[in-house]
Amino acid sequence: MRFESSPHGKRIDLRATMNASRSTGWESVLLARIRPRRRPRRVLLLCDVSRSMQPYAAIYLHLMRAAVLRRAGGHPEVFAFSTSLTRLTSVLSHRSAEMALHRANARVTDRYGGTFIGRSVAALLAPPHGNALRGAVVIIASDGWDSDPPDVLVHALTRVRRRAELLVWLNLAPIEASLRAGSMAAALPYCDLFLPAHSRPACTSCCWRWPVPASRVRPSPQLGVALCYKL
């Protein structure tokens, strides 16, 4: 475990304390303190760009682009999915928001088509992306409508939960409609946070702060999604 200097640390840094005491005739006037170094957890963001998500897709891609530009969680990764998974991190890094979205639309050849959420999440577990899941915060923005059988998504989310620190689902449909979708109902037990995000007030209530100083992620209507740190 690595440490960093902190006036509020619980451990005393003997080496730094001794070095500082040289100027006082080796009398320890002030104890130097340290704490475990905290690093933001990696964030993986998945945006559903299927036909039912067409009204929301551009908005959420812009939000995910903001996470990439701010390097939330160190080096966040952004993926889009409809019938397959497409990595968008590099194209969303463009300085121009308009150009970034244009390139993202060109990269995702299956956008506004069918939806295979289960298969797309399973693809995230395969190389070369699978290792990035370890200890990460995974955020999925989707309305839950899926052409895959619910057990396909359940199997994929079970494996994601074994690797990820936290699984957050941003629900882009009214809760009553989402629960009518078999895959969404099946996914609920595997989500650490299930947040409504289908309207402007809902988006405001689950606004993202990148990152916040917390050792664990705690649901809060004011905080929304709080990214955790790893010690």
SS3 of 109-177: CCCCCCCCHHHHHHHHHCCCCHHHHCCCEEEEEECCCCCCCHHHHHHHHHHHHHHCCEEEEEECCCHHH
Distance CA 4, CA 2 (A): 7
Check if CATH label 3.40.50.410 holds for domain 39-230.
Answer: yes
Q: Report the pLDDT averaged over residues 6-23.
A: 81
Alpha carbon distance 64, 130 (integer Å): 20
Tell me the average pLDDT of the chain: 79
Q: What percent of the chain has pLDDT over 70?
A: 77
Q: Nearest-CA neighbor of 92 among 110, 74, 105, 82? A: 105
Q: State mean pLDDT over 30-37.
A: 81
Neighbours of 94 (CB within 10 A): 17
Q: State the maximum Cα–Cα separation within the chain, in Å, rounded to a whole number.
A: 75
Instruction: Give this prediction's pTM.
Output: 0.73
| pLDDT for residue 229 | 37
Within the chain, which residue ranges are assigned CATH 3.40.50.410? 39-230
Structure tokens at 91: 């194209």
The pLDDT confidence band at residue 196, using thresholds 50, 70 and 90, is confident
Name the pLDDT band for 68 (thresholds 50, 70, 90). confident
Q: Residue 4: pLDDT above 90? A: no
DSSP 91: G
Distance, in Å, from the CA atom of 228 to the CA atom of 218, rounded to the nearest integer, reads 9
- Give the pLDDT of residue 131: 82
